Amino acid sequence: MSDLVLLEPPALVPISTETAMVRTLEFLTAGIRNPNTRRAYHAAIKRFAAWCRREGLTLEALSSPHVAAYIDELGKELEPASVKQHLAALKHWGDWLVTGHVLKVNPAHAVRGPRLQQQEGKTPVLEREQARALLSAIETDTVVGLRDRALISVMLFAFARVGAVVKMRVKDYEGAGTPQAAFLLHEKGGKFHRVPAHHQAAEAMEAYLEALGPSPAPKAPLFQSAPRRSGTLSGLPLGDRAALAMVKRRCQAAGLPESICNHSFRATGITLHQDAGGDLEAARQIAGHANVKTTQLYNRSGDKRRRGEVERVQL
């Protein structure tokens, strides 16, 4: 539980410091199951606590104007989306303290966040040739290379989140060697999402499974970590941060922009699908989005069209 170090007692002094600390621990563990959300909310609470300490505010003295002033200050340093995430963390935390009888009212409840109107995503995407070059540059004579190629292929061709992919077990690649091959992705909230395997992703996956050896345990992590420079898999699941480090390393070796991240493959897959005339509703279903507007944020096909239109201006 090293990533859940709580606020220092001097940071916020409620009616009972111990009660507030215990309730905060419960919020960050029992109240939040997603590890990424937990890390983000923990960081938000720590940052707010540091601000309160500088302002000489105690937990019981907090009011909505205090939280609003803090949010205004955040807006000078962070993007609107990040500010909204910080505010969401404070609101949820405040609710948890109220229901735990630490506070009478939630001081963040009435605070409004910044307006955010996002028409298109900011995630960097790869061109078709870049994606092809990246996959081709990964060596296929090592189990680690096969793992990396398979992992990137699933994110790219299945429009999959890295968090869903790294949670997969061996048994979650279904129908290996058949036209019915599919990926069973572990989505947020304990949900599962089945996506048919693109033939290139299936080929990469089956080459990787063959390298794992005969009959790997069905419940074993599909994508396993590899101790540095060992060239062997540990049997333990690969984390999303380790996956990002791998992506950065592979992109650097292939001469691709350093801005490429795990999410770039989800956006690249959707964009290539739309470039090829794919149905947007079908893309939404493959990506597992609740709303087609979310899928549209990943579609960067319009970038090329706009560049082409701009170039029509001739002198």
pLDDT tens for the chain, residues 1 to 315? 444 444 443 344 444 467 888 888 888 888 887 788 888 999 999 899 889 888 888 888 899 999 999 999 999 999 888 999 999 999 999 999 999 988 999 999 999 988 865 556 678 899 999 999 999 999 999 999 999 999 999 999 999 999 999 999 999 999 988 999 999 998 877 788 999 999 999 999 999 999 988 878 999 999 999 987 778 899 999 998 999 999 999 999 999 999 999 999 999 999 999 999 999 999 999 999 888 888 888 887 767 667 777 777 878
User: Closest Cα to residue 143, out of 195, 211, 207?
Assistant: 211
Helix (H, G, I), strand (E, B) or coil at 61: helix
CATH number at 186 reads: 1.10.443.10
Residues 220, 211 contacting (CB under 8 angstroms): no
Number of domains making up the chain:
2
201 with 245, same domain: the answer is yes
Q: Residues 145, 247: one domain?
A: yes
Is 30 found in the same domain as 81? yes
DSSP 167: T
How confident is the model at residue 6, as a pLDDT? 43
9 shares its domain with 91? yes
Question: For residue 258, what pLDDT is reported?
Answer: 92
Q: What per-residue confidence (pLDDT) applies to 3?
A: 46
Q: Looking at the structure, do residues 90 and 148 belong to the same domain, yes or no?
A: no
In a domain, 107, yes or no: no
Asked if residue 294 belongs to a domain, the reply is: yes
Question: Does residue 69 share a domain with residue 153?
Answer: no
Cβ atoms within 10 A of the Cβ of 175, count?
A: 12
Q: Which pair of tokens denotes residue 12? A: 């916020």
Q: Which of 3, 61, 54, 63 is nearest to 29 (CA)?
A: 3
Q: Do both 79 and 207 map to the same domain?
A: no
Q: Report if residue 111 sits inside a domain.
A: no
Is residue 307 in a domain?
no
Domain-embedded: residue 108 = no
Whether residues 248 and 292 fall in one domain: yes
If asked whether residues 24 and 66 sit together in one domain, one would say yes
Q: How many CB atoms lie within 10 A of CB 294?
A: 13
- 112 lies in some domain: no
Does residue 199 form part of some domain? yes
Same-domain check for residues 72 and 216: no
Does residue 160 sit in the same domain as residue 276? yes
Q: Are residues 23 and 158 in the same domain?
A: no
Task: Report the alpha-carbon distance of residue 315 to residue 306 in Å, rounded.
Answer: 18
Domain end marker among 99, 120, 143: 99
Between CA 6 and CA 271 the distance in angstroms is 41
pLDDT of residue 9: 39
Has residue 123 been placed in a domain?
Answer: no
What is the domain range of residue 186? 128-301
